[in-house]
Amino acid sequence: MKKTLLIPFVFSLQLSTFSFADFNKGVDAYKSGDYATAQKEWELSADEGNSRAQFLLGLMYLHGRGISQDHAAAFKWMKLAGEQGYAAAQFNVGRMYEQGLGVTRDLEAAIEWFEAAAGNGSDIAQSHLGAAYYEGTIVGQNLAAAFKWLQPAAERGIDSAQFLLGSMYYKGQGVPQDLKSAFDWFARAADQGYAPAQFRHLAEQGDAESQFRLGLMHDHGFNIEQDYDAAIRWYLLAAGQGYAPAQNNLGSIHEQGRGVPQDFQAAIKWYRLAANQGLAQAQHNLGSVYLNLQDRIHAHMWWNLAASNGFKDAFLDLDRIEKTMTAEDIRKSQKLARICLAKDYRYCD
């Protein structure tokens, strides 16, 4: 979910003490479409160190607005503005390093400039940087750093950051799993009209995570009509690629009977596939299904495994179920859990 390279042109700028008249003339000229005059006046201000003029001049060269597009010139002026702490320019310098526009591509430098812009309060830089750390594309995946930057961007209303933050809470990535917070962030993104079109495009190309997210939107009606058939269809595609969260959600659909007849055996099948990959939520869900089937030994076993993987609710469930079990049954369950874990979840019956 990467934002566009260009920051929208903003006229409501606090004017610098540098070349006040020259800068204002440039703004007026730009508004009237007189780009040649705007360029002339802003160059006068930019040469004297006016960071706003440097930034806007950089945008003119980047866009090719009224002048020939020149990425090298754009980079020059953006970098000068960025070195003075101008956050929007810092973000654009990062994007130019990322894409190799007007400068040799340098991902390490890109991250440094994104960090600077994000630290200076640029919400689009915070969102972009958070997404980069979450996806591990232009920098090594770092979920703690992703959360650090996505949270302020999401709180300031960046819809893509809200959706990614929701995904982190939903899957317990970098933060304790919290479904209430996940759905809250999903809803806030949906309220802004964050469309699933981009996910559909990627999903149709076979991206498992996008298939899962699209299924999740249909499942819960996030910014799209609730449609269990569509949810199941997308979950199945992702689950067929071994995507554990989709397998877990198919288990939930069958356990609860959302759009299909309630079927505990089908739920167990899907939960097991996800649990076998170490997904703690699926392991906990399996325990709940086995308890419904009056199989306390296997319920205890799966809750024990979920607890060992850090699923907090499992600790409470273990405490509760052990009060209804004999000491011998608890020992049997613990032995099964040890075997299951030692065999990498391949022998858990």
pLDDT tens across 231-265, in order?
999 999 999 999 999 999 999 999 999 999 999 99
pLDDT at 88: 94
Q: Does pLDDT of 226 surpass 90?
A: no
Torsion (CA) 70, 76, 79, 83 in degrees, nearest 10: -160
pLDDT score of 195: 60
Q: Which helix (H) or strand (E) holds 205?
A: none
Contact yes or no for 249/279 (Cβ under 8 A): no
pTM: 0.59
Structural domains of the chain ordered from first start: 20-168+179-191 (1.25.40.10), 195-277 (1.25.40.10), 280-349 (no CATH)
What whole-number distance in Å separates Cα of residue 288 and Cα of residue 275? 13
* Model pLDDT, residue 66: 83
Residue type, 347: Y
CB 174 within 8 A of CB 168: yes
Contacts of 191 (CB under 8 A, 6+ apart): none
Mean predicted lDDT score pLDDT of the chain: 87
What's the pLDDT tens digit per position in 26-64? 888 888 888 888 888 888 888 989 999 999 999 999 988
The lowest-confidence range among 31-35, 138-142, 233-237, 271-275 is 31-35
Mean pLDDT score, 109-135: 95
User: Among 239, 312, 236, 306, which residue's Cα sits nearest to residue 278?
Assistant: 306
Separation CA 228–CA 252 (nearest Å): 12
Q: Residue 93: its pLDDT value, please?
A: 96
Q: How many CB atoms lie within 10 A of CB 36?
A: 10
Residue-wise pLDDT tens digits, 55-92: 999 999 998 888 889 999 999 999 999 999 999 999 99
Take residue 274 and report the two structure tokens written for it.
């996800």
In the structure encoding, which two tokens stand for residue 269, read together? 């099948």
Q: What is the dihedral of CA 138, 141, 143, 146, to 10 degrees?
A: 0
| 8 A C-beta contact, residue 329 and residue 304 | no
Distant-in-sequence contacts of 284-293, Cβ < 8 A, 24+ apart: 284/311, 284/313, 284/314, 284/317, 285/248, 285/251, 285/252, 285/255, 286/251, 287/314, 287/317, 288/255, 288/317, 289/251, 289/255, 289/264, 291/321, 292/264, 293/264
